[in-house]
Amino acid sequence: MTNIKKLAQLVKELEDQFVVCIRCGMCQSVCPLFEQTKKEADVARGKLALLDGLMNRMFSNPEGASERLNRCLLCGSCASNCPSGVNVLEIFIKARIILTEYKGLSRTKKIIFRNILSKPKTFNRLMKWAGHFQGIFTKKNKNSQGTSCARLISPLLSNRNFMPVATEPFHEHLPKLDTVSSRSRLKVAFFTGCLIDKIFPKIAKDCIDVFHYHDIGVFIPENQGCCGIPALASGDLKTFEQLVEHHVDLFENNSFDYLITACATCTSTIKKLWPAIYKGNQNRVQNFVEHLSEKTLDINQFLVANIKIDSSHTDGDTDKEIVTYHDPCHLKKSLGIFKEPRQILNASGIKLIEMESPDKCCGMGGSFNLFHYDISSKIGTLKYESIVKTSCKTVATGCPACMMQISDMLAKNKSNINVKHPIELYANNLKSKEGLDKD
């Protein structure tokens, strides 16, 4: 019953939000998907018209509309270029929830999301299992991204270069942490996020090292899970709510100044989608989610705002490593963060060379990549081409999902360019300055 009430409320909110679209079509100029397919149903204007049709009961069968709504990278390029300020992402997410509730989840997704994602312990166990056994399924490619081709299952996966699951996820390396700072008195909570925990644990380790170096207290509660975006993107409200509430329990009774993540997608989900979905609930969870949203910062943004970062890079230093930076959609377009990662890079002893359209979407789009790998790769190839043109040695980006996509594209093209998070480069530089071991 409560669910039906919630749904009705969502439909109402949705309607108020999508009438704002004036059908000007300006989103066509920036939608990476439309650029490939030239189909109006792939761009925001078309999808909003579809929703309008759905709400007016134009379709007896919502399947077709929902399939089209799911063909979207949720990159937010449209929203950031929209003259009318249509909150496209929130609308699409809510629409997916409504449609999913309406249709019931598909069987496979039900199993994945309800049983695995919503119970962090099971998820961790499963991923660990996969980590130990991946050697059987995949062979290590000798390339600098450390991806491995899914050898046995590759017909199924169209030669995707999967990032291997780390043998030791971050939460095993460091299950929990609670330190205080001696001088700065600053304390942060760290939200690891699935991809960093399981695929890029080194980023989390570097973050912790950077916090220590700058004398910042860190709180990491045990048993963290997923921020909920995969569930939300497939319209699974129940799993999403379980995840949010799980984290509210973990963080609620602890004091910290900021909640930091190194994952652009987690940051924008916690900052924007958590409060958007809980809006109007007026209960303990809603209150805390609002509060947390205000405290949540991307790691680059946090460092630039709170630590004196020396980003006065010296030009003409020719022997420095050339690095280019890709703007994750969820940092630049969702949160307006694009200066800070560059400041961090400029303070990392490298030479930053910009690529053409650094803020163009890489084509990952979460599950979009899984279901529409062909188009996703075409978009990714454009990114690959602009990266290569910079003659860089490393491409940096602040989102592990983008890192996976870019690694896949580079590996496919047999490139030797490394893919790193800005924090990895920053930490590396600190360590080399300190004369510590680099890794």
Which residues in this chain contact ligand SF4 in the complex, by CB under 6 A? 21-27, 31-33, 43-45, 48, 72-78, 82, 84, 86, 88
Q: 3-class DSSP state for residue 25?
A: coil
Which is nearer to ligand SF4, 3 or 357 (by Cβ)? 357
Query: Hey, how many other C-beta atoms are within 10 angstroms of the C-beta on 285?
Result: 17
The partner residues of 56 in beta bridges, in order of sequence, read: none
Q: How far is CA 68 from the centre of its chain?
A: 22
Closest CA to 340 of 232, 235, 422: 422
Provide the residue type at 88 as one letter.
V
State which residue, 85 or 155, has the beta carbon closest to ligand FAD: 85
* CA–CA distance, 143 with 290 (Å, rounded to integer): 43
- Residues in contact with other proteins, shown as a per-residue x/- string from 10 to 49 under the rule CB under 8 A: ---------xx-xxxxx-xx--------xxxx---xx--x
The minimum distance between CB 366 and ligand SF4, in angstroms, equals: 11
User: Which own/partner pairs from 238-242 qualify as long-range (CB within 8 Å, at least 24 positions apart)?
Assistant: 238/114, 238/118, 239/113, 239/114, 239/117, 239/118, 240/277, 241/277, 242/118
| 25 or 175: CB nearest other proteins | 25
Residue 169 contacts which entry, other proteins, ligand FAD, ligand SF4, none (Cβ below 5-8 A, type-dependent): none
The residue with tokens 């594209």 is: 409
Binder of residue 88, out of ligand SF4, other proteins, ligand FAD, none (CB less than 5 to 8 A by kind): ligand SF4
In the stretch 12-41, what mask flags binding to ligand FAD with x, by CB under 6 A? Answer: ------------xx----------------
The least distance separating other proteins from the CB of residue 42, rounded to whole angstroms, comes to 9
CB 227 within 8 A of CB 190: no
Choose among ligand SF4, ligand FAD, other proteins, none what residue 127 binds, the Cβ cut-off being 5 to 8 Å by kind. Answer: none
Name the minimum Å distance from CB 95 to ligand FAD. Answer: 24
The structure tokens listed for 278 are 């809980």
Please say which residue, 81 or 141, places its beta carbon nearer to other proteins: 81
**Could you tell me which of 46, 40, 51 has the C-alpha nearest to residue 94?**
51
Closest CB 331 distance from ligand FAD, rounded Å: 27
Residue 241 CB neighbour total at 10 angstroms: 18
Q: Which does 50 bind (CB under 5 to 8 A by kind): ligand FAD, ligand SF4, other proteins, none?
A: other proteins
Give φ, ψ of 60 to 5 degrees. -75, -30
Q: How far apart are CA 423 and CA 325, in angstroms?
A: 12
Residue (24 or 153) nearer to ligand FAD, CB: 24
Distance CA 402, CA 335 (A): 16
Minimum CB distance to ligand SF4 smaller for 49 or for 285:
49
31 binds, among other proteins, ligand SF4, ligand FAD, none (CB under 5 to 8 A by kind): ligand SF4
At residue 301's C-alpha, the angle toward residues 295 and 303, to 5°, is: 100
Closer by beta carbon to ligand FAD, 84 or else 122? 84
Q: Which does 76 bind (CB under 5 to 8 A by kind): other proteins, ligand FAD, ligand SF4, none?
A: ligand SF4
State the minimum distance, in angstroms, from the CB of residue 31 to ligand SF4: 3
* Alpha-carbon span 289 to 44, nearest angstrom: 28
The overall longest dimension of the chain from CA atoms, in Å, is 67
DSSP secondary structure letters along 328-362: -HHHHHHH---HHHHHHHHTTTSEE-PPSSTTS--
280 lies in the site for other proteins, by CB under 8 A = no
Least gap, CB of 278 to ligand SF4 (angstroms) = 22
Q: How far is the CB of 439 from ligand SF4 (least distance, A)?
A: 36
Q: Are 402 and 363 in contact (CB under 8 A)?
A: no
Task: Check if the beta carbon of residue 322 is closer than 8 Å to that of residue 351.
Answer: yes
Whole-angstrom CA distances from 235 to 40, 83, 98, 138, 273 are 23, 27, 7, 31, 13
Which residue is associated with the tokens 């899970």? 225
Q: Which is nearer to ligand FAD, 36 or 81 (CB)?
A: 81
Min dist CB 64 to ligand SF4, Å, is 17
Position closest to ligand FAD via CB? 24
Q: Which is nearer to ligand FAD, 10 or 44 (CB)?
A: 44
Nearer to ligand FAD, 26 or 174 (CB): 26
Q: Which residues lie near ligand FAD (CB under 6 A)?
A: 24-25
Please report, as ranges, the residues that interact with other proteins according to CB under 8 A.
19-20, 22-26, 28-29, 38-41, 45-46, 49-50, 53, 58-59, 64-65, 68, 83-85
